[in-house]
Amino acid sequence: LTVQHNYLKHRFLEIRFDIQLSVQEVKNKIATMTGTIPKYQHLILKRKENDFIQLSDKMKLIDYQVESGMIIDVYDQNPYSITKQISSINWQDMPTKIASDEQYMTCTNNVVKQIEQKLQDPQYSQILEQQFQKRKTAELQELQESHKFKIDQRIYYQNQAAQILSIERNSEIGAGLYLKLK
Cβ 76 vs Cβ 5: under 8 Å? yes
149 contact partners, CB below 8 Å, separation of at least 6: 155, 165, 179
User: Which residue has better confidence, 21 or 143?
Assistant: 21
- 82-116: pLDDT as tens digits: 888 888 788 788 888 888 888 888 888 888 888 88
As assigned by CATH, the class of the 2-87 domain is: alpha beta
pTM over 0.85: no
Looking at the chain, the domain(s) classified CATH 3.10.20.90 span 2-87
User: Which residue has better confidence, 168 or 38?
Assistant: 38
53 contact partners, CB below 8 Å, separation of at least 6: 44, 45, 47, 64
d(Cα 124, Cα 110) in Å, to the nearest integer?
Answer: 18
Q: Name the strands in the sheet holding 71-76, side by side, starting at the edge strand that comes first in the sequence.
A: 11-12, 2-5, 71-76, 41-48, 51-54
- 149-172: pLDDT as tens digits: 655 555 555 556 555 556 555 555
- What residue spans of the chain are helical by DSSP H? 23-34, 82-87, 101-106, 111-120, 122-146
Separation of CA 81 from chain center: 22
pLDDT of residue 115: 87
Cβ 27 vs Cβ 57: under 8 Å? yes
- 45-88: pLDDT as tens digits: 998 888 899 999 889 999 998 988 899 999 999 988 888 888 87
